[in-house]
A and B are shown apart, each in its own frame.
Chain A
Amino acid sequence: NAGVTQTPKFQVLKTGQSMTLQCAQDMNHNSMYWYRQDPGMGLRLIYYSASEGTTDKGEVPNGYNVSRLNKREFSLRLESAAPSQTSVYFCASISPGGYGYTFGSGTRLTVV
């Protein structure tokens, strides 16, 4: 099925551990995004990639890095996880000139 696929769906990390969240889309979209969603708050943009080969910081980039591996894949890396990074992470993509994001089903991350 066409859409955005995120892996893993759930993850528990210890403080200081690292991990990479994977995201892939098969809709030939140019722009891809990483958001985090916390209770009582709106989605917050971590990083985005307007096109293959480019990445830019969003509202809350500290503690994260990203890689736009190719047009389909956009990964998010936590180098040294902290409890403040406990959240649900969503990847999204959008076609040129389009305003309707397609979101993945999310990764629920707990840092203990």
Chain B
Amino acid sequence: EDQVTQSPEALRLQEGESSSLNCSYTVSGLRGLFWYRQDPGKGPEFLFTLYSAGEEKEKERLKATLTKKESFLHITAPKPEDSATYLCAVQDMDSNYQLIWGAGTKLIIKP
């Protein structure tokens, strides 16, 4: 059964304190792994898609990496505006449409 587990559930950092969020997944074959950002009261906002182990993508202070079992979202020198819930999802090779979502990591950056 396809499964996605995100850790930690919540993470509090000081402004400028770098860290990483983890997304562990189990699928029979990976079509793609996706990272989204969700602000309170809003819908998820697309950040990255990763397709194969070893792939990396960057956007401002965020960098996503992928292995065969997990993905990391690295946050370098975060700012308070990076505070949000970060969601991870995977798509199985056998699925054309359905994503399996993790419960998310709530990130709080204190000034």
Contact = CB atoms under 8 A, between A and B. Distances in A.
B44 A103 contact: yes
A58 interface: yes
B41 A105 contact: yes
B92 to A, nearest CB: 13
B78 interface: no
Nearest to A43: B101
Contact of A42 (B45, B46, B89): B89
Given A48-B97, A50-B96, A50-B97, A101 B46 contact: yes
A53 interface: no
A26 B49 CA distance: 23
Interface residues on B, range: 20 to 34
A105 B43 contact: yes
Contacts of B104: 42
Kindly state the interface size class of chain A when it binds its partner: 20 to 34
Nearest to B47: A100
B91 interface: yes
B13 interface: no
A51 to B, nearest CB: 11
Minimum-distance CB pairs A-B, first 3: A103-B43, A42-B101, A100-B46
Interface of B: 4, 32, 34, 36, 41-46, 49, 87, 89, 91, 96-104
Given A42-B4, A99-B32, 12 more contacts: A40-B103, A42-B87, A45-B98, A56-B97, A99-B34, A100-B49, A102-B46, A103-B43, A103-B44, A105-B41, A105-B43, A106-B42
19 contacts: A4-B43, A33-B97, A40-B103, A41-B103, A42-B4, A42-B87, A42-B102, A42-B103, A43-B87, A45-B98, A50-B96, A99-B49, A99-B91, A101-B36, A101-B44, A102-B46, A103-B45, A105-B43, A106-B43
